[in-house]
Structure 1
Amino acid sequence: MEFEGRAALALLGRVRYGRLALTRGALPYIAVARHVVTDDSVLIRTDRSWGVDGTVVAYQADDLEAGWAVQFLGTARAFHPSTAQQALFGTDRQNDTSREPGHVYVRLDPRVHHRNDLASAW
């Protein structure tokens, strides 16, 4: 991954939640999800599989106070996280997006990324 992609991943690593953009029944859908960044991948935990395994999805997160937003596109792959990977997500259930004890984990290896400087948008 080139420098700009790594810089975008570094920004993503500063926040805990983002939005997973996918399709349901050929219609667009946005799901809030928890994420961590590791090894040039975005690991996403959500409460449903949404049928995204093997499909192209987008993931977006931002820090409006700091003035940035990042977006990633790639193929989502369902996976079973190791204990170490689960620990990266933490155990704090406050503001978690999952209401059930079980989670679905998805790995996104971004192929396209984009960073928005929100200050220039105003």
Structure 2
Amino acid sequence: MSEEPAGRPPEAPGREQPVAAEPPRRTVEVDGAEALRLLGSVPMGRIAFTRQALPTIRPVNHIVDDGNIVIRTHEGAALTSRTLQADGPGVVVAYEADAIDPDTHLGWSVVITGYAHLVTDAQELARYQALLRPWVRQPMDYAVRIRPDLVTGLLLVPVDQPAEA
């Protein structure tokens, strides 16, 4: 058994060849309208909220409708329970989605922070149920609308490339 030189970590299994240096990249902020457009271009994201005073994150599918993010949920879901009990402005949540290439690490990321409310209007709920098909096999009888208060978006682009979404 050979020893690694002092001060050098052991090689990871299956990593016999050196890893090529990645091209430098930079981040470019986008405005809220562009961030919402990017968010609307992907079907899934992650919603973050508190459950028993601890952060909780769930993957969900979504649509962007008139500047709001809408997801479907079910009775008994932690977020459904929280929004049912919410008085006033609603439940504070964060919503994140991205499209980042796993090889080049280029792409974009959008984070929305705002208040979540259950959709209670029967016509709106029926419309969202028609537009937003759940990707899990269980009844998803509720819809939650997130009204963004803070919208941030970043593009990850090569240093020598102009910023374009």
TM-score tier by shorter-chain length is 0.7 to 0.9
User: In structure 2, what is the equivalent of residue 86 of structure 1?
Assistant: 129
Structure 2: gaps spanning 5 or more residues: 1-29, 84-89, 159-165
Does the Cα contact within 8 Å between 1:34 and 1:46 map onto a contact in 2?
no
Is residue 28 of structure 1 aligned with residue 55 of structure 2?
yes
User: In structure 2, what is the equivalent of residue 10 of structure 1?
Assistant: 37
Partners of 2:115 and 2:59 lie apart in 1 by 18
The CA RMSD over aligned residues, in Å, is: 2.1
- Percent identity between the two aligned chains: 38
Pick from 33, 57, 71: which aligns with 2:93? 57
User: In structure 1, what is the equivalent of residue 162 of structure 2?
Assistant: none
- Following superposition, the deviation at residue 49 of structure 1 comes to 4.5
- Following superposition, the deviation at residue 99 of structure 1 comes to 3.1
Structure 1: gaps spanning 5 or more residues: none
> Cα deviation per residue 1:25-84 (whole Å; 9 max; x = unaligned)?
000110111100011111112342523422100000011136001000001001144333
Q: Is the partner of 2:139 in helix, strand or coil?
A: coil
Q: TM-score, normalised by structure 2?
A: 0.61
Work out which of the two has the higher radius of gyration on C-alpha atoms and give 1 or 2. Answer: 2
Partners of 2:55 and 2:125 lie apart in 1 by 31
Q: Is the partner of 2:110 in helix, strand or coil?
A: strand
Partners of 2:153 and 2:52 lie apart in 1 by 29
Does the Cα contact within 8 Å between 1:41 and 1:110 map onto a contact in 2?
yes
Does the Cα contact within 8 Å between 2:125 and 2:142 map onto a contact in 1?
no
Partners of 2:156 and 2:42 lie apart in 1 by 16
Does the Cα contact within 8 Å between 2:71 and 2:132 map onto a contact in 1?
no
